[in-house]
Structure 1
Amino acid sequence: MTRQGNDGHGRHETVEERADRLWGELLQELRVAQTGVQILFGFLLTVVFQSRFTELSDTDRAIYTSTVMLGAAAVGALIGPVSFHRLLTGRRLKPRMVVWASRLTVVGLVLLFCTMASALLLILRLAVDHTLALWLVGVMAGWFVVCWGVLPALARHAARSESGAGGPGGGRTEG
């Protein structure tokens, strides 16, 4: 059992300890994302049963169908790590499981982003002019990109700059 972080940076933990910690952190993140995507998906499933649904244009029905499929895919991806855990527990694969579950979570977040943008487009096309709806969705999509991508990238860059990316550990930060 080798210890990581002996270069004066980061934590002193074994590969297994790190996998346990990262798995716990990932589960906390998934609880937030799963709740949001499940509520959104549940709402989307009820839309087809509303009386006004029959009045939707073919374009709006196509947007709705795409939104539901994206939502279903997001649910699958964000719940997928649970399957990884259940099917791989006890097989001494946790470090690999954490990597794959993390990747699946990122895919789920991308699908959730697409679901949100698509759902906004559908709703806003019914509420305002179609051109305005596109602009509003673009603004919100930009906001999501800032919150979910740009700010974490800036924080990562700042952490690398503070730790000196050229030194031991290559500027890697804990995550």
Structure 2
Amino acid sequence: MTEQDQAGNYSRDDEDKGERLDRHWNELLQELRLAQTGTQILFAFLLGIAFQNRFQDADTFTHDVYAGTLVAAALAVALFLAPVSFHRILFQQRLRDRLVPIAHHLASAGLVFLIAAMCGGVLLALDVVLSRTVAIVVVAVVLVWFLAFWYILPAYVRRTSRNGNS
């Protein structure tokens, strides 16, 4: 059986604070493994685009979208990898109680930049095959899609769960 403590962290009746922190750290690491891999592949792909002859002939809008997308992907990679560095530096310092919430915020920020990078990458690709206006509209829909499933739906579930448990 699980219950929610005052900090909003889920705990089990059979685990102490240290075990809960270990579980939360391991859950976060599993999430980061997935996010890191995809983001690093996207970043590597984006790096290669700038060296294509056809891209060098593209207009200012395309170059600006590319620059923003590349920077967003780089920032996402940095934020997703930051907990690894953080952990290495704090290893065996008995600071997991500080590491877990900070790593959570780093990963959450990484997701924001990942959405920006994904939308930028989609815009770059669609701008080649569709009119710019249609490409922008489709990317706006993609952005709403990300926001709906990554933020709105979880917020809704959180809110209705709190109301049901009150």
Query: Same fold by TM-score, threshold 0.5 exceeded?
Result: yes
Identical columns (%): 42
Q: How many Å separate the matches in 2 of 1:82 and 1:124?
A: 35
* AA in 1 matched with 2:158: R
Q: How many Å separate the matches in 1 of 2:114 and 2:4?
A: 35
Q: How many Å separate the matches in 1 of 2:112 and 2:4?
A: 32
- The answer for the alignment partner of 1:168 in structure 2 is none
- The answer for the alignment partner of 2:79 in structure 1 is 77
Aligned pair 1:115/2:117, yes or no?
A: yes
* AA in 2 matched with 1:149: Y
Q: How many Å separate the matches in 2 of 1:5 and 1:33?
A: 27
* AA in 2 matched with 1:27: L
Counterparts of residues 53-92 of structure 1 (less than 5 Å): 53-92=55-94
Q: How many Å separate the matches in 2 of 1:86 and 1:69?
A: 25
Aligned pair 1:29/2:27, yes or no?
A: no
SS at match of 2:12: coil
SS at match of 1:49: coil
Contact in 1 for aligned 2:79/2:107 (Cα 8 Å): yes
Q: How many Å separate the matches in 2 of 1:16 and 1:88?
A: 16
1:46 to 5, 25, 48: 48
Q: How many Å separate the matches in 1 of 2:4 and 2:43?
A: 42
Moved over 4 A (4+): none
Deviation at 1:75, TM superposition (A): 0.4
SS at match of 1:92: coil
- The answer for the alignment partner of 1:11 in structure 2 is 12
Gap change, CA 1:21 and 1:51, over 3 Å in 2: same
Gap change, CA 1:57 and 1:15, over 3 Å in 2: same
Deviation at 1:51, TM superposition (A): 2.2
Deviation at 1:118, TM superposition (A): 1.4
